[in-house]
């Protein structure tokens, strides 16, 4: 299968959190199949509607946002570079994850000092950037540069994505855009279900290569062990 874009994400190892998150979003990127949503009472809208925006990507934390491969680069080369990069990094271990509101959506965010995580993400962005094709005018416009701060716009032009380096904030998205009242309802339903599934500590021990298929869904193609 061919893929139009690639991304480097954190994705949890197979286990209770990964399984629940796949069902919550309705898409399992590792098995590459649509899965049934859980039956949860008290949500303000059908779960399929609440999770429509993040579903195509699968449950993940972005390290290097989706990009097209540069000319004369291919997936095999990207895998080799990712393996080499991961081998030279150290795992990142943090106290855990928490359910948070980020703007108008819900996500899991890390607890504790995130300096090591930010350093890892910056290495992924920087070291793999030679494999990224330059943005087209249309791709840049889709990032709405007019709505970005000057530093974010500069990062967009340099790295193809505005939320990297000093603007990086690691998160694992759980919903699309919600009204404030909806967010409170979803949080009330989701928090007690997630609580026993959240890892303590939270460790990033691999880098995951994802690819965007023809239907727009992202597939987990390869997991490169860190260290």
Per residue in 114-164, pLDDT tens?
Answer: 999 999 999 999 999 999 999 999 999 999 999 999 999 999 999 999 999
Q: Where in the sequence is the domain holding 145, given as residue range(s)?
A: 5-225
Instruction: Report helix, strand or coil for 184.
Output: helix
Rg (CA), the chain: 17
For 84, counting Cβ atoms within 10 Å of its Cβ (0-12 exposed, 13-18 middle, 19+ buried), the class is exposed
Rounded Cα distance between 64 and 224, Å, is 14
Q: How confident is the model at residue 223 (pLDDT cuts 50, 70, 90)?
A: very high
Compute the mean pLDDT over every residue in the chain, rounded to the nearest whole number.
97
H-helix or E-strand spanning residue 207: strand 206-212
N-term to C-term CA, the chain: 29
- Looking at the structure of the chain, the number of domains it has is 1
pLDDT of residue 1: 83
The domain spanning residue 146 has which CATH number? 3.90.1140.10
The mean pLDDT value for 62-90 works out to 98
For 142, counting Cβ atoms within 10 Å of its Cβ (0-12 exposed, 13-18 middle, 19+ buried), the class is exposed
Q: What is the pLDDT of residues 36-65, one digit of tens each?
A: 999 999 999 999 999 999 999 999 999 999
């Amino acid at each position: 299968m061919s893929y139009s874009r690639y991304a480097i994400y954190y994705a949890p190892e197979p286990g209770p959190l990964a399984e629940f998150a796949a069902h919550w979003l309705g898409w399992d990127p590792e098995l590459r199949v649509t899965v049934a949503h859980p039956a949860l009472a008290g949500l303000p809208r059908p779960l399929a509607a609440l999770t429509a925006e993040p579903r195509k990507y699968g449950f993940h934390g972005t390290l290097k946002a989706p990009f097209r491969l540069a000319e004369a680069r291919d997936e095999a080369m990207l895998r080799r570079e990712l393996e080499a990069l991961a081998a030279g990094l150290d795992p990142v271990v943090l106290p855990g994850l928490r359910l948070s509101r980020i703007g108008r959506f819900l996500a899991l965010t890390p607890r504790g000092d995130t300096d090591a995580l930010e350093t890892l993400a910056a290495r992924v962005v920087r070291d793999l950037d030679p494999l990224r094709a330059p943005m087209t005018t249309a791709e840049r416009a889709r990032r709405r540069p007019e709505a970005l701060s000057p530093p974010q716009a500069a990062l967009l032009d340099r790295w193809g994505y505005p939320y990297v380096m000093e603007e990086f904030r690691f998160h694992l998205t759980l919903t699309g855009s919600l009204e404030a009242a909806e967010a409170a309802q979803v949080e009330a339903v989701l928090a007690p279900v997630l609580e026993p599934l959240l890892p303590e500590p939270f460790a990033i021990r691999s880098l995951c290569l994802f690819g965007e298929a023809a239907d727009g869904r992202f597939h987990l193609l390869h997991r490169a062990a860190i260290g």
